[in-house]
Amino acid sequence: MLSSPDAALDVALVTQTAGLEALRPEWERLWLRSTGATPFQSPAWLIPWWRHIGEGELLTLALRAHGALVGLLPFYVYAADDGRRHLFPLGIGTTDYLDALASPGSEAAVMATGFRQLAALADRFDIAEWPQLRPDATLLEAAPADWMSQVESGDICPATPLPPDLDTLGAVVSRKTLRDLRTARRRAAEAGALRWEDAGARDLDTVFDALLRLHTAQWERRGKAGVLAAPAVQAAHRAALPELLRAGLLRLQALHLDDAIVAVLYALIDPPQRPARRVYLYISGFDPTLDRLSPGMLLVGHAIEQAVSEGFAALDFLRGQERYKYFWGAEDEPTFRRTLRPPAGVGS
C-alpha cells in the first residue's frame, strides 16, 4: 500500500492492443484486489470491448511500485466529428460503471501520478470526460488545483438491497409483486414444461444467439433497433462471454418452455472474495408473443431468489429508472460524470 499521494510510481504508457493483452494476468490480479471494482473493470470485459468497439488512440497508463502493478487508468482518445479529442475510459457506451483501478489504499497516489502523466500528454487530447462513476470511484479523486474539474450528476442505477434469506424477501419486495410472481409461474407452468439453463462453455453461443433473437424481436415491435443490433457490439460480447465465464463473472441463463428458449438473462456477478457482492442485470430478451406469461417477471424473480440464496448483498438493475425495477424494491443509486482539462500550455 502507498501511504502518500506523492509516492513515486513508475508509469508505462500502453498504446497498442498487444500491450493491453500483455497486461492481462497482472491486470486481473489488480482487479481482484480492488474491492470497489465491478466486473466492468475486468480485462475479461474491457479487452474485448477495445478490440471490437473502441475507436481511436489507446492511451492507457499502467502504474507500478517496486515492479508490481498498483494502478491502471484504461483510457483512449476519440476524435469527435467536430475535431475535438476526448479522453474517454475504455468501455464507454456499453458499460454501466466505469473507473480506474488502484490497489486498496493507493487511490490518491495512483491518481496523483496519473494526473501528472496526463498533463505531460495533454497535447494528445482536448478534454477528459469520465461518465458512469460510482460515488467511491477512483476517477473521482482530487485533481491538481491548476486543472479544470467539474463533477455533475449522472445516470441513476436502481438496486435492490437483498435480505439474508428467502423467508424475509417480503421485507424488501412488495407482497403484490411476490403474488404476481406466483401467478406468472403458475400460468407458465400451465403452458408447458419449464426449465432453467445456466449456459456453460459448450452452449454460450446457442444461448447468446437466443438472446439476440429475443431481444431483437422485442425492439422490432417498437420499431427500433436494440442495443445489441450493431455487429461490433455482438462481436465484443461473443469474445467476452468465454472470458467472463472462465473468471466466474458470468450468469447467462435461459428459460425453456417445452423445447424452446423463451427468455434469456445476461448478468454479471462479483467474484466470491468481493465484500457485499452484487448481481448486475445487464440485459435480457424474451418472446414478445408470450406477454401473457410475464417472462420478464419470471427472469427477475428467478434472479433475485437465486441471489438471496447465494448470499449476494444486492441486485443491481444498472442504468435507467424503468418502473418495473421499483416493483422489486430497488432504490436509486447515483453515478457521476466528471469533465476535466489540464492547465493551458502543459504538454505542448
Question: Are the CB atoms for 210 and 216 separated by under 8 Å?
Answer: no
Written as nine digits, the cell of 291 is 406477454
**pLDDT (0 to 100) of residue 222:** 83
Same domain, 74 and 27: yes
Sign (positive or negative) of CA dihedral 55, 15, 121, 135: positive
Same domain, 143 and 183: no
Q: What is the CATH number of the domain that holds 314?
A: 3.40.630.30
Same domain, 177 and 322: yes
346 located within any domain? no
Same domain, 268 and 125: no
Same domain, 51 and 175: no
Same domain, 93 and 168: no
**pLDDT (0 to 100) of residue 224:** 81
Same domain, 192 and 293: yes
pLDDT tens digit string along 55-90?
A: 999 999 999 999 999 999 999 999 999 999 999 999
**pLDDT (0 to 100) of residue 203:** 95
What's the longest Cα–Cα distance across the chain? 71
**pLDDT (0 to 100) of residue 1:** 40
Residue 287: CA atoms inside 13 Å, Cβ hemisphere, count? 14
**pLDDT (0 to 100) of residue 18:** 98
Nearest to 112 by CA among 70, 162, 166: 70
Q: Which domain holds residue 171?
A: 159-327
Nearest to 162 by CA among 22, 313, 317: 313
Same domain, 134 and 175: no
d(CA 67, CA 312): 35
pLDDT tens digit string along 205-233?
A: 999 999 999 999 988 888 888 899 999 99
For residue 317, list its beta bridge partners. Answer: none
292 located within any domain? yes
Q: What is the pTM of this model?
A: 0.95
Count of structural domains, the chain: 2
Residues of the chain with pLDDT under 70: 1-7, 345-348
Return phi, psi of residue 216, to 5°: -65, -45
d(CA 56, CA 75): 10
d(CA 103, CA 58): 23
Within 41-102, strands assigned E span: 57-58, 60-65, 68-73, 75-79, 85-89, 101-102
- Which run of H or of E encompasses 246? helix 231-246
**pLDDT (0 to 100) of residue 189:** 94
Same domain, 145 and 240: no
104 located within any domain? yes
302 located within any domain? yes
Same domain, 143 and 238: no
**pLDDT (0 to 100) of residue 6:** 55
Same domain, 189 and 321: yes
d(CA 262, CA 192): 12
CB atoms inside a 10 Å sphere around CB 176: 9
Q: Which residue has the cell 449476494?
A: 312
